[in-house]
Amino acid sequence: MTEKDFIPKAYTNTLENGNFTWSSPSNIALVKYWGKKKHQIPENPSVSFTLDYCKTTTTLSFSKKSDSDSFSFEIFLDGKKQDDFKPKIETFFKRIETYLPFLKDYHFKIETSNSFPHSSGIASSASGMSALALCLMSLEKQLLVDVSEEHFNQKTSFLARLGSGSACRSIEGDLVAWGTHKEIEGSSDYYGVKYPQKVHELFRNYQDTILLVDKGEKQVSSTVGHNLMHNHPFAERRFEQAHENMSKLISIFETGDLDAFIKIVESEALTLHAMMMTSMPYFILMKPNTLEIINKIWAYRAKTNSKICFTLDAGANVHVLYPENEKNTVLEFIKDELVAYCQNGHFIADQIGFGAQLMS
């Protein structure tokens, strides 16, 4: 597939107005996407667990307008008008207009809400952009009529990527790979694919408890961080390493070797933050409590032989990952020893989910 394959044929149907509602999950990367080329093309492949509880629900209402001169939309978060989201959506619409030529024909009302608190420090761009891309694709499907499920999912992921890279991994769960990798058939830089190889049953219902260490706004956005990978002294080696780690994960997913899984996942998280600390300008997104939690997890693992591990996204919060068969004991440990390091004691008990859902 190339970019041109996502430009639609002439629309055969017309539609005056209507609405679609989708709910789309967040995801947590195991091998991280950090560094991108023009047009949201990742510098390296990544793979993520789709989440279940953390999601965005978006209703897109549309009505045909008399002209097609410019984009026309309004956006609401939890029922409140959110004009500060408009520039991001405008940029998204500009990037995808070639692929959705109907965009200027309609006025859109975008009503969105998140299952997680807005100020949780959990990025809503993956779930938010994928939910919007899904609604727009539902509209295109009506205009084209004959759209296969495969094309629908691929193109939605393709569009979501243009909104926010990691959003392309939020369409179809449970494990999603994005970025060309020689051992993953069908993998592409343009869209995420449901991980096609064998996955051991130990990874079924994997748990992710998100410890909310810092709920504040990040000082450095992901977009700025990605850009700092240009001319980064360790960039090339890092991108190669991501390919190697993907290869290692392929056999780990198959065999269920959780000790090897832990090594890759934790190393990826720390490498991501090491890239931030060694870029110019450098920055640190971890907080003292992030490190306290990591040390507690290591001590607990050494003491109990648990298969618990952590990963981080571009922030201070810690994602605690563990197999379902340890759910009760690890939750006990989290409540006894880790919650004290969370802001106001807040955490979210999530687990692997299976992708976006059409609500109406």
Q: What CA–CA distance (Å, rounded) separates 67 from 18?
A: 18
Report d(CA 18, CA 156) in Å as an integer.
19
Residues contacting residue 118 through CB under 8 Å, at least 6 positions apart = 77, 78, 124
> Contact, 219 vs 162, CB < 8 A?
no
Strands 106-114 and 72-77: parallel
* Closer Cβ to ligand DP6, 222 or 245, answer by number: 222
Q: Which residue is nearest to ligand DP6 (CB)?
A: 165
Q: How far is the CB of 96 from ligand DP6 (least distance, A)?
A: 14
Which parts of this chain interact with ligand DP6 (CB under 6 A)?
29, 32-34, 40, 46, 123, 125, 164-166, 222-223, 226, 272, 313-314
By beta-carbon proximity to ligand DP6, the closer residue of 143 and 249 is: 249
Which of residues 166 and 207 has its CB atom nearest to ligand DP6 in the complex?
Answer: 166
CA–centroid distance for 249 within its chain: 19
Shortest Cβ distance from residue 312 to ligand DP6 (Å)?
8
Q: Which is nearer to ligand DP6, 164 or 317 (by Cβ)? A: 164
Rounded-to-integer distance, Cα 270 and Cα 262, Å:
12
Residue 1 C-beta: closest distance to ligand DP6, Å? 20
CB of 177 to ligand DP6, least distance (A): 11
Residues 6+ apart with CB under 8 A from 246: 31, 45, 46, 47, 177, 181, 183, 184
Q: Running DSSP on this structure, what letter comes out for residue 212?
A: -
**Smallest distance, ligand DP6 to C-beta of residue 33, A:** 3
Residue 34 or 158: the one with the smaller Cβ distance to ligand DP6 is 34
Burial of 198 (0-12, 13-18, 19+ CB in 10 A): exposed
Q: Which strands form 207-211's sheet, in the order they lie side by side?
A: 309-312, 318-322, 207-211, 347-351
- Closest separation between CB of residue 16 and ligand DP6, Å? 33
Smallest distance from ligand DP6 to CB 225, Å: 7
Our CB check for ligand DP6 shows the closer of 115 and 125 to be 125
Query: Which one, 199 or 224, has the nearer CB to ligand DP6?
Result: 224
Let me know: does 34 contact 229? Beta carbons within 8 Å: yes
